[in-house]
Amino acid sequence: MSKSIKVYLACTGVGIINRGIETFARECFNGLHGTEGLQIELFKGAGEEKLDEHKLWNLHRNGKIAPFLGQLIKRNGYVVEQLSSFLPFVYHIKKGQPDIIFYSDSNLGFQLYWWRKQIGVPYRLLFSNGGPCSPPFVRTDYVQQVAPFYREQALKAGEAPSKHFLVPYGINVPEGHSLLNHEERQNIKQQLGLPSDRPIIISVGWISATHKRMDYVVEEIAALPEPRPYLIMLGHMDANSPPIIDLATQKLGKEGFTARSVPYEQVAKYYQAADIFVLGSLKEGFGRVYLEAMIHGLPCIVNDHPVMRYVLAEKAIFADLSKPGAMSQALAELLERSPALESRIERREYVRQKFSWKSLSPDYLQMFRDCLAHTKD
């Protein structure tokens, strides 16, 4: 019997923040743990220690010390969080002797690359490029590209094809269709304090004008005729968020929206309450939130970009969201249609067949095997 591959999956933000890379790391561990031929352990920044889950000491990005130290070195608290976790992680590496370190936090990866010889463990570094970062990728051994667009970009820049694996993000898809009926959805709306007399549009991501372009989403909802749908903005909130909330208050009124940051395990209830998912970002590293929405059967209105086309195929409504009025027009057309249960089930099953861990675990295992089979330069 061949020896299992030991993989250390490191993500300091797990337990601290719920962005795409953190939710991926959490679900990747859950989805691959117990796979035959694989011994995977998760190293996170906070939370309870469990079987094969380890908490790394760190100065977390949302505390007072990390942002202060970040200013001193002209970086941010997120970088300090990664750097502060390096030595605690080295202790585990020397003790456990992993074959592969699988990570998305680039600054932690840089330290593991620079100090590998001194650490004394011949691990392979596999960078999951869900951010995404652009080439060159000189401070890692291998790269997981989660969409063809970014792998092609790397190869055009002269990167070796054998260094870049195309393996998309996986996601947990519950068994069965579990799509709620009207009465069940009304009960959830009541539990969450949401209106039950109008359609609900949800947008999940950093509540900011940058990248996720929540200001654009607000403006596009405001452009719809009254009575407008109710808007849920769900995601990380920071100093960039108050201007978005002020804009929504001005354009939609206090009774026309909500902006909340909730634990990841509670997000599903908001998808269950919603009728339509929208995202204002013009590009994504992958866009796990699209899959989350489709698991709950929601139609998605997204920007027309190669990554979104790869992830969503023909299951979404694509528009040029760089243009004012594009999202509101797509919404107006969608709101005129009667939602079909068959379409909701099709969206969910599409995600199950293409992106569930059951479907993708063989690809991940093969990627790990290939990391060990290839000869490093």
Number of folded domains that form the chain: 2
Q: Which two tokens stand for residue 306?
A: 């190669």
Angle at CA of residue 358, ends 355 and 362, nearest 5°: 95
Residue 177 belongs to a domain:
no
**Which residues, at least 6 apart from 236, have a Cβ–Cβ distance to it below 8 Å?**
17, 18, 19, 205, 206, 207, 261
State which residues form the domain around 93: 5-171+356-373
Question: pLDDT, tens digit, for every residue of 144-191?
Answer: 999 999 999 999 999 999 999 999 999 999 887 667 888 889 999 999
Q: Are both 238 and 214 inside the same structural domain?
A: yes
Ramachandran bin of 100, using left for φ above 0, alpha for ψ from -120 to 50, beta for the remaining angles: beta
Domain identity same for 105 and 244: no
In a domain, 294, yes or no: yes
152 and 194 within one domain: no
**Is 148 in the same domain as 234?**
no
43 and 189 in a single domain? The answer is: no
Task: Decide if 65 is inside a domain.
Answer: yes
The percentage of the chain sitting over the pLDDT mark of 70, rounded to a whole number, equals 98
Whether residues 187 and 167 share a domain: the answer is: no
Residue 159 is assigned to a structural domain of this protein: yes
Identify whether 156 is part of a domain: yes
Task: Please write the tens of the pLDDT for every residue from 260-283.
Answer: 999 888 999 999 999 999 999 999
Side-chain-side CA neighbours of residue 298 (13 Å): 31
Question: Would you state the pLDDT for residue 175?
Answer: 83
Domain co-membership, 31 together with 79? yes
CATH of the domain at 295: 3.40.50.2000
Q: Rounded to a whole number, what is the distance in angstroms from the first to the last CA of the chain?
A: 29
Type and span of the H or E element at 191: helix 182-192
| Same structural domain, 262 and 297 | yes
Together in a domain, 315 and 362: no
Q: Which residues pair with 127 in a beta bridge?
A: 103, 143
Residues 187 and 334 in one domain: yes
**31-45 as b/e, with b when 16 or more CB fall inside 10 Å?**
bbbebeebbbbbbbb
Q: Are residues 159 and 263 in the same domain?
A: no
Quick one: 148 and 206 in the same domain? Answer: no
Q: Which residue ranges in the chain fall short of pLDDT 50?
A: 377
